[in-house]
Amino acid sequence: MRRLHRGALLLALALLLPLLGGCLDSHEIETLAIVSGLAVDRGEEKTFRVTAELISSKNEQTSSLSVSAEGDTVYDCIRSLVSPAGKTLYLSHCKVGILSLDAAEEGLPSLVDWANRDTEGRLTMSLLLAEGRAADLFAEQPEAGTAVAFNIADSLNTGPSSVANLSIHNFIDLGVDVGKTPYAPVISLSEDGAPEVKKLSFLKENVPAGLLSGEELLYFSLLRRDGGRRTLTVKNDRGAYTVELKPERSDFQFSHEDGGLQFRFDYQLGAELVDISYPFDPHDEDAVARMEVEIECVVKNGLKALAARSQSEFQLDIAGLGSVIYRKEPAFFESVRERYSELYRNAAFSFDTRVTLRGTGVSGVTVFAGERGEAN
Amino acid sequence: MQKSEFHKSAARNIRMVQDLFEGDATLKVRTLRAGENPGCTCALLFLDGLVNVTVLNDAVLQPLSKLPKVQPGRSMMDAVKESGLFISFYNEITTLDELKSEIMLGSTLLFVDGSDSCLAVDTKGWSARAISEPESERVLRGPREGFVETMMVNVSMIRRRLATTDLKFELQKLGRVTRTNLCICYIKGLVEPGVLRELKRRLGRVSYDSVVDSNYINELIRDNPRSPFRTINTTERPDVVAAKLLEGRIAVVVDGSPVVLTLPCLYSELMQSPDDYYLNYYYASFGRLMRMFSAFLCYSVPAIYLALITFHQELIPTPLLISIAKAREGVPLPSVLEALILLLAFDLLRETGVRTPASIGQALSIVGALVLGQSAVEARFVSAPMIIVVAISGVTSLIVPRISGALDLIKYPLLILSSLFGLYGYAAGFITVLAILYSMNSFGVPYMAYSSMLGVKYWQDIYLRAPWPKIKRRPFFSRNRDRYEKEVD
């Protein structure tokens, strides 16, 4: 009886294997075309044109080639790519998905929805918008042994701006979470043809609605209170200096009095001086205090300007403050949800920043060739 | 008293023995007059090649030929026993079975006219191999002795290590034709009586006609005879046998085989090495963990690699995936066939290496490396990553020699399951192997005992080798578990 029981168990297990396993999913690795990146543009004959960068494994060095196909949806395009690729597309290692701003106006959800539903594509794929044609980014031949998409993905991870690396998964969260505004980094080609991410685009009702660039990215991250390090260059009548700012403490309070919203931000920032173009003695307390006040003013003004721009130009709660309100006072937020954007446009912002100079590098005093300059 | 099967006439006894060994030219007969007793003939019979002729001449022939005149009324056999033999041991036998057994063991049979009994004189002197270190159980540090084919020599090596009267040796014969001697060794007070009884019961049921090697007994009495995992351990080292006897195990020494059986056997024992107990415990523990990990790698690496490259490419890091895809470009065989062919080729080479004379072994290894390694890859017959995977599997199986046979067998079905069902198939196969292991017993002791017990106190001699002062308890199947006479702080 015991042997029969054991045999019956083994038979049941053996029968389960073909039913629950996936021997039909077997693919020899060399029969797959590994996709490193996808670029979606507006099509010439159809709605979309998808360009896929494929890894070529025929040569000694790793190289890449691009194939394109058009279709009414992104999924349609990807299915059509099998013919030019000659192999089954393998999308699990696709690192970046790039939409041109042009194509994004047709509807960003086409790419995002496909990525969300497809079993192969990873939600950790970086989502980017492109100024100009997205496919042009794959047109540049990468250095031997790499692929353009991999280079872009690496630069997103190691670059100075943390807002540049946004995965589709996080993008979906932004769209789904109450009170948050979706955004996407914008990639473009520099003068020497290298891809770079220096802008951010907000999305309103799934279409791009405004761009941030330069120092605004720093203030944007401060408004979002994401805690990352940022660099800030300050210019004054003596020259210019650059500091690395690290939020040590940030506090956000809101109130709703007299039918309006009031937002109060309080920052404690640590600063490290990374370079300066004029003599500066860090042991001079007055000079340090002056520098700190100067940085505070610059940061405060920048935050005020960005807040004002978000209210007047974007008309969007770019920092997702609504989600904080929703978390702390869900009943209130629900009661004003319909008119939240109007409330936001008329909200009062106040910023209180305190900067402490924490470090000035290895050498405390600015050194000039030939002679010491006078400290301020 | 048992009736003797022999005659009082030495001549008739000679004819009887010659009839028994008809056609056997190695039977030698020597008759001589019993010294100064002219009416009495003595007959010596022995098998050429099994006796020490010098001992026979000096200890038997010479004193017999000088036997003084026996007084009337006194038995000639008694006189021979008292004055006619300068030998330390003899056995007086009365049956044909005993006669056959004794002469086969190298004893010289002595018949004396007037007596219906026979003296089996201990003149064993066949050529035997010198004691040397076993090839399959080399150690970096520790004794270099190994068992030989002579049972009593092996027994003496065990005896020298355990100077206790509790060490018992029970002799037995097995095999209707071979009548092989075997010795059951155990330490009274440490061995579990139930295990000993079970062993004797199983040995008693053996009716096989021949027992040439200890492996015959192993396969005739073991639990789970169809399982590739051994449930009776083997060793060629007397120090290992002594240590196992001290843990409450039983050893079976078989005449004609240098391999001694020890039981009960646990799975965790198969990961142990004699080196573990002679080296520093940190190094020993590290070595043991390495062996366990190597055992896992041996059967898992080919299966997991195959599952990843055919089913779960998303689990492979992108640079590695590209590298593997590049290596597989142009290879005509499916991955599973490639893996099977390489694994079989490796096993073929290993078998060939074992049986190849040393003089051409080096040439063969070069051919194997060049043909399999370099040429096959350059010809795009196989891919380089698969060769690496197979090499890892092959090398790691050699790190755990006690279990390498079983590992080599189970990696093929795991490979097939992985090729059909991916990691799911591998997991199903692995769980099946585990289920089989956990269902096995060795003489009533669960095979996977200690392997699944949580708690540091169970690991002192399993996954790690604790310092000797910390190993205070014997295994749970031992009768007396305390190693210390009194608690040591």
Instruction: Tell whether A281 and A261 lie within a shared domain.
Output: yes
What's the CA angle centered on A229, arms A227 and A235, to 5 degrees?
125
Q: pLDDT tens-digit profile of B367-388?
A: 777 676 788 888 888 899 999 9
Instruction: Please check whether residue B326 touches A, CB under 8 A.
Output: yes
Does some domain include residue A243?
A: yes
Does some domain include residue A151?
A: yes
- pLDDT at position B254 over 70: yes
Last residue of a domain, one of A213, A236, A268: A213
DSSP state of B60: I
The per-residue pLDDT for B77 is 86
Q: Which of A154, A93, A104, A162 is nearest to A128 (CA)?
A: A104
Q: Which domain holds residue A266?
A: 214-364
Instruction: Tell whether A204 and A260 lie within a shared domain.
Output: no
Model confidence band, residue B141 (pLDDT cutoffs 50, 70, 90) = confident
> Any alpha helices (H) in A21-165, and if so which ranges?
74-80, 82-85, 101-107, 109-117, 136-139, 148-158
What is the CB neighbour count within 10 angstroms for residue B184? Answer: 19
Instruction: Tell whether A198 and A221 lie within a shared domain.
Output: no
The identity of residue B345, as a single letter, is: A
Instruction: Tell whether A194 and A238 lie within a shared domain.
Output: no
**Interatomic CA distance for residues B159 and B273, integer angstroms:** 22
Instruction: Tell whether A188 and A226 lie within a shared domain.
Output: no
Model confidence band, residue B203 (pLDDT cutoffs 50, 70, 90) = very high
Determine the residue of chain A that is closest to B383 in CA distance. A30
The per-residue pLDDT for A141 is 63
The per-residue pLDDT for A363 is 57
**Interatomic CA distance for residues A241 and A119, integer angstroms:** 49
Largest CA distance in chain A: 98
Q: A27 and B326 in contact by Cβ < 8 A?
A: no
Q: Under a CB-based contact definition with an 8 Å cutoff, are residues B462 and B451 in contact?
A: yes
Instruction: Tell whether A190 and A49 lie within a shared domain.
Output: yes
Predicted TM-score of the model (pTM): 0.79
Q: A17 and B417 in contact by Cβ < 8 A?
A: yes
For chain A, how many structural domains are there in total? 2
Beta bridge partners of A90: A34
Does some domain include residue A230?
A: yes
For residue A267, the domain's CATH number is 3.30.300.210
Q: What is the pLDDT along chain A (376 residues), one digit of tens a residue?
A: 566 787 788 788 777 777 776 666 788 888 899 999 999 998 888 888 999 999 987 666 778 889 999 988 888 898 899 888 888 899 999 999 998 888 887 767 777 888 888 878 888 888 889 888 889 888 866 666 678 888 888 888 776 555 567 888 888 887 777 888 888 888 888 777 777 888 888 888 777 888 888 888 889 888 888 777 788 999 989 889 999 998 899 899 999 888 889 999 999 999 999 888 888 888 888 989 999 999 999 999 999 999 999 999 988 898 889 999 999 999 999 998 888 989 999 999 999 999 999 887 665 555 555 544 444 4
Q: Under a CB-based contact definition with an 8 Å cutoff, are residues A108 and A171 in contact?
A: no
The per-residue pLDDT for A344 is 92
Does some domain include residue A369?
A: no
Instruction: Tell whether A360 and A258 lie within a shared domain.
Output: yes
Q: Which of B322, B303, B341, B340 is nearest to B417 (CA)?
A: B303
The per-residue pLDDT for A374 is 46
Contacts of residue B152, defined as CB under 8 A and 6 or more positions apart, other chains included, come to: none
Backbone angles phi, psi at B169, to 5 degrees: -125, 120
Instruction: Tell whether A40 and A172 lie within a shared domain.
Output: yes
Q: pLDDT tens-digit profile of B426-435?
A: 999 999 999 9
Does some domain include residue A6?
A: no
Q: pLDDT tens-digit profile of A236-253?
A: 898 899 999 988 998 999
Does some domain include residue A372?
A: no
Instruction: Tell whether A233 and A257 lie within a shared domain.
Output: yes
Q: What is the ipTM of this complex?
A: 0.78
Burial track B144-162 (b if 16+ CB lie within 10 A, e otherwise): ebbbbbbbbebbebbbebb
**Interatomic CA distance for residues B140 and B275, integer angstroms:** 7
Q: B325 and A120 in contact by Cβ < 8 A?
A: no
The identity of residue B153, as a single letter, is: V
Q: Under a CB-based contact definition with an 8 Å cutoff, are residues A224 and A166 in contact?
A: no
Q: A29 and B321 in contact by Cβ < 8 A?
A: yes
Q: Under a CB-based contact definition with an 8 Å cutoff, are residues B87 and B60 in contact?
A: yes
**Å between B192 CA and nearest CA of chain A:** 28
Mutation for testing the A interface, residue in B308, B312, B321 having most A CBs under 10 Å: B321
Q: Kindly list the distances between the CA atom of residue A336 and the CA atoms of A174, A261, A325, in Å, as whole numbers in the listed order.
A: 20, 11, 11
Mutation for testing the B interface, residue in A31, A55, A56, A57 having most B CBs under 10 Å: A57
Instruction: Tell whether A181 and A266 lie within a shared domain.
Output: no
The per-residue pLDDT for B378 is 84
The per-residue pLDDT for A53 is 92
Instruction: Please check whether residue B378 touches A, CB under 8 A.
Output: no
Q: pLDDT tens-digit profile of B313-327?
A: 999 999 899 999 989
The per-residue pLDDT for B488 is 47
More reliable by pLDDT, B136 or B221 = B221
Q: pLDDT tens-digit profile of B343-361?
A: 998 888 888 877 877 777 7
A chain contacts of residue B313, beta-carbon cutoff 8 Å = 27, 29, 32, 90, 92-93
Say which of A17, A32, A34 has its CB closest to residue B428: A17
- Which segment, A64-73, B108-117, B296-305, is predicted with the most confidence on average? B296-305
**Å between B438 CA and nearest CA of chain A:** 13
Does some domain include residue A233?
A: yes
The per-residue pLDDT for A161 is 53
The per-residue pLDDT for A23 is 64
Does some domain include residue A193?
A: yes
Collapsing DSSP to helix, strand or coil, B284 comes out as helix
**Å between A267 CA and nearest CA of chain B:** 40
The per-residue pLDDT for A24 is 67
Model confidence band, residue B489 (pLDDT cutoffs 50, 70, 90) = very low
Q: pLDDT tens-digit profile of B398-427?
A: 888 889 889 999 999 999 999 998 999 999
Last residue of a domain, one of A190, A213, A236: A213
Instruction: Tell whether A268 and A321 lie within a shared domain.
Output: yes
The identity of residue A267, as a single letter, is: Y
Determine the residue of chain B that is closest to A122 in CA distance. B314
What is the rounded average pLDDT for all residues in chain B? Answer: 88
Q: B310 and A58 in contact by Cβ < 8 A?
A: no
The per-residue pLDDT for B108 is 92
Percentage of residues of chain B with pLDDT beyond 90 = 42
The identity of residue A187, as a single letter, is: I
Last residue of a domain, one of A198, A213, A228: A213
Cβ-in-10-Å burial (0-12, 13-18, 19+) of A336 comes to: middle
The per-residue pLDDT for A21 is 65
> Any alpha helices (H) in chain A, and if so which ranges?
2-20, 74-80, 82-85, 101-107, 109-117, 136-139, 148-158, 168-176, 216-224, 285-309, 321-328, 330-336, 340-345
Q: A120 and B314 in contact by Cβ < 8 A?
A: yes
Collapsing DSSP to helix, strand or coil, A118 comes out as coil
The per-residue pLDDT for B380 is 84
B chain contacts of residue A22, beta-carbon cutoff 8 Å = 311, 421-422, 424
Q: Which two tokens stand for residue B290?
A: 């390495």
Determine the residue of chain B that is closest to A92 in CA distance. B314
**How many residues are given for chain A?**
376
Instruction: Tell whether A140 and A37 lie within a shared domain.
Output: yes
Q: B422 and A22 in contact by Cβ < 8 A?
A: yes
Contacts of residue B293, defined as CB under 8 A and 6 or more positions apart, other chains included, come to: none
